[in-house]
């Protein structure tokens, strides 16, 4: 059947760009992540990964950052994209184990892991050490920035583990419960957390109600956009229970088109609140610190963070049409016509967009390290 795909960002305001360092950063990062991809995925999965979903998204999301920042962003997306794809078809026990490995690697990058030394942990440490170089050398708020990102990471990885349990049970959440869970499982917090690096924003700024509401609004829009674009592919692969469209149809007893219309109405409210909060951002003049001349005045750095949120949301929508991950070769046409073809589930198809992951027990090979 065909449905009309709503434009959730028709009044968002931010334009899309591509980072000029895209080619260099994505090539370096793809070479770096390849040993983990080879370990976890078969030849077909490796070819799917080579389509460069992650490097393109990072380069659209962080279009205005320098090459060093973009390389870290590509590494982040590559690492957690592999994790997400693998745990989508892994047992809950394996997903939980890998979550512990990754979080411990970030909390103790120079220590010995209590979960054993392995490739996942080693590469997480490499990513994290590179991310540390983005912090300003004289920054006063680096500790809180690091803590925020690790908290986002732990929340994301643990939520993905819980999602594995949800898949095994086959249940469907309520709308309110789903949206709360989705903020974590989307990994959008990681995208938001990385925006802090290099800005040296005080804790008083990041914990302010308006800034937190702006961050949450951007995360919500990222989740809604991702669910909208991924629904068709998730339905065909039998993984659509963890999608806002399925949840809304189930709870509100709506048709498919009605569920997409509900999504458009809900997203409109999120956009309006985001814009209202932009107008409510305090000056924070009492926190102004002139010591970081290279980073600019505090108000300018706060604005860069807020603009980063806006560009990140726009990038998710633009990327979904640019990449073949969700709409195949039809992204440009769907963006123009807004007509999306929904196909039923293909029996026995459990992999997403060409990813055929080997048996979940293969993850135990991660513990092998010379």
- Give Cα 138 distance to the centre of its chain: 29
Q: What pLDDT, on the 0 to 100 scale, is given for residue 57?
A: 96
Measure the CA–CA gap between 150 and 156, rounded to whole angstroms: 10
pLDDT bucket at 265, cuts 50 / 70 / 90 = very high
| Residues 58-76 pLDDT 10s | 999 999 999 999 999 999 9
C-alpha distances out from residue 126 to 29, 110, 114, 133, 139, Å: 12, 10, 18, 11, 22
| Residues 64-119 pLDDT 10s | 999 999 999 999 999 988 888 887 766 777 778 888 888 899 998 887 777 666 78
In degrees and rounded to multiples of 5, residue 19 shows phi and psi of -65, 130
Retrieve residue 334's tokens: 């769907």
Q: Which CATH code is given to the segment(s) 2-341? A: 1.10.600.10
Residues 35/38/40/41 CA torsion (nearest 10 deg): 150
Residue 360 DSSP label: G
How crowded is residue 151: how many other Cβ atoms within 10 Å of its Cβ? 13
**Of 274 and 362, more confident:** 274
- In the predicted model, what is the mean pLDDT of the chain? 87
Q: What pLDDT, on the 0 to 100 scale, is given for residue 91?
A: 73
Measure the CA–CA gap between 233 and 352, rounded to whole angstroms: 7
In the three-class reduction of DSSP (H, G, I as helix; E, B as strand; rest coil), residue 111 is classed as coil
272 contacts 178 by C-beta, under 8 angstroms: no
In degrees and rounded to multiples of 5, residue 17 shows phi and psi of -140, 170
Bridge partner residues of 340 (DSSP): 3
242: left (phi over 0), alpha (psi -120 to 50) or beta: beta
Q: What pLDDT, on the 0 to 100 scale, is given for residue 339?
A: 97
In the three-class reduction of DSSP (H, G, I as helix; E, B as strand; rest coil), residue 100 is classed as helix
Domain regions of the chain by residue span: 2-341
| Cβ within 8 Å of residue 330, ≥6 positions away | none
In degrees and rounded to multiples of 5, residue 339 shows phi and psi of -100, 120
Pick from 123, 122, 87: nearest CA to 363: 87
């Amino acid at each position: 059947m065909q449905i009309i795909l709503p434009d959730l960002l028709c009044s968002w305001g931010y334009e899309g760009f591509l980072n000029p360092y895209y080619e260099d950063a994505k090539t370096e990062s793809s070479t770096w992540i390849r040993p983990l991809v080879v370990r976890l995925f078969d030849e077909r999965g490796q070819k799917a990964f080579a389509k460069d979903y992650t490097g393109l998204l990072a380069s659209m999301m962080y279009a205005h950052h320098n090459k060093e920042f973009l390389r870290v962003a590509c590494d982040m997306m590559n690492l957690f994209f592999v994790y997400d794809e693998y745990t989508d078809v892994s047992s809950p026990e394996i997903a939980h184990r890998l979550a512990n490995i990754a979080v411990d690697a970030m909390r103790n990058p120079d220590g010995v892991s209590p979960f054993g030394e392995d490739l996942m942990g080693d590469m997480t440490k490499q990513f994290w050490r590179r991310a540390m170089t983005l912090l300003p050398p004289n920054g006063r708020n680096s500790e809180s920035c690091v803590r925020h990102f690790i908290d986002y990471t732990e929340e994301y990885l643990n939520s993905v583990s819980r999602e594995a349990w949800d898949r095994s049970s086959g249940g469907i959440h309520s709308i309110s419960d789903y949206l709360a869970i989705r903020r974590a499982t989307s990994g959008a917090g990681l995208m938001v957390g990385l925006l802090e690096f290099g800005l040296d924003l005080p804790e008083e700024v990041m914990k302010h109600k308006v800034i937190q509401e702006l961050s949450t609004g951007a995360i919500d829009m990222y989740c809604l956009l991702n669910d909208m674009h991924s629904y068709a592919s998730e339905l065909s692969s039998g993984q659509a229970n963890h999608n806002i469209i399925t949840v809304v149809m189930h709870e509100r007893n709506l048709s498919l088109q009605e569920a997409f219309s509900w999504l458009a109405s809900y997203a409109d409210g999120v956009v309006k609140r985001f814009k209202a909060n932009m107008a409510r951002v305090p000056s924070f003049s009492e926190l102004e610190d002139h010591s970081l001349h290279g980073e600019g005045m505090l108000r300018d750095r706060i604005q860069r963070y807020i603009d980063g949120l806006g560009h990140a949301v726009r990038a998710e929508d633009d990327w979904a049409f640019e990449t073949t991950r969700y709409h195949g070769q039809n992204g440009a046409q769907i963006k123009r016509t807004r007509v999306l073809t929904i196909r039923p589930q293909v029996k026995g198809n459990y992999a997403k967009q060409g990813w055929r992951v080997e048996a979940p027990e293969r993850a135990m090979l991660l513990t092998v390290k010379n």
